[in-house]
Amino acid sequence: MKNKTFESFEAAVADIPDGSTIMFAGFAGPGTPRNLIAALLAQGASGLTIISNTPGRWADSDIVDLKVLVDAGRVRKAVASFTAAPHPSMSGVFAELYEAGEIEAELVPQGTLAERIRAGGAGLGAFYTPAGVGTELAEGKEVRSFDGRDYLLELPLRADYAMLRAHRADALGNLQYVHTQRNFGPIMARAARITIVELDLPIVAAGEIDPDHVHTPGIFVDRMVVVPADAIQETVRNG
């Protein structure tokens, strides 16, 4: 049995080279792999393309999310459903860099983002979606009509690495998430070449998780680190 258990976040991200494309799970807090992000910041990889719902929070804060990689200049390009804050009164380093042309971004409707990731992990060449038809996001994209309705052609997203947080796992990497921690985790785990997971709870023996209750099968999981008590926990303050 391949050992997927890593003793430290540092070891789990040690080989990630500059220029990697990395998917990061998480939505408004839950599922964000904060300890892996902190380890990646310390590791120093740069020129990264990040694929995530947002490129980090917009307000100033000491909470660890993708904002720390953006602030440190490690991100070359973001693929996300936000390139500005949800409200015009909010700003942030990413928005300022993007307005100034100092960082690249591809803005994608959130459902299209999720489906492109799903398609990337499902062996598909492309798909058609009604989201974005008739808007400026349709510019340059193939529009095709099925049963009288227009759809846009969208291409899959794949990545070198995916990072996510799950609740528990067995030694084979079979994962369970808790509540809205799940979000992008299952689809990103399938769309990346190497999936790295941080876990709320200690790893259990194979067979301890009911096979009918596995959310992400271990075949999609490569590296796991259990979050120690003194590391970053998902707390109410984070959200």
Partner 1 sequence: MASREPLSRQAMADRIAMEFEDGWVVNLGVGMPTLCSNFVHPEREITYQSENGLVNYGPLAVEGEEDPNLVNAGGQYVIPIPGMAVLDHADAFALIRAGYVDVTVLGAYEVAANGDLANWRLAGRKGGGIGGAMDLAVGARNVFVMMEHTTREGAPRIVERCAQPITAPGVVKLVATTLGLFEITPDGFVLREIAPGYTPDEVQAATGAKLIVPPDMREFRTRE
The residues that touch partner 1, with contacts defined as CB under 8 A, are 27-31, 81-88, 95, 98-99, 105, 107-112, 114-115, 117-118, 129-137, 167, 177-187, 215, 233-236, 238-239
Q: Which lies closer to partner 1 via its Cβ, residue 21 or residue 54?
A: 54
DSSP string, 179-230: GGG-TTHHHHHHHEEEEEEEESSPPBPTTSS-GGG-SB-GGG--EEEEPPTT
135: Cα within 13 Å, side-chain hemisphere: 10
- Cα separation, 157 vs 124, in Å, equals 10
Q: Which lies closer to partner 1 via its Cβ, residue 74 or residue 165?
A: 165
Q: How far is the CB of 221 from partner 1 (least distance, A)?
A: 15
- Cα separation, 228 vs 233, in Å, equals 9
Q: Which lies closer to partner 1 via its Cβ, residue 43 or residue 138?
A: 138
Residue 231, Cβ density class (10 Å: 0-12 exposed, 13-18 middle, ≥19 buried) = middle
Q: How far is the CB of 106 from partner 1 (least distance, A)?
A: 12
Residue 214 is encoded by which pair of tokens? 């596995």
Q: How far is the CB of 172 from partner 1 (least distance, A)?
A: 20
Q: Which lies closer to partner 1 via its Cβ, residue 109 or residue 217?
A: 109
Q: How far is the CB of 237 from partner 1 (least distance, A)?
A: 9
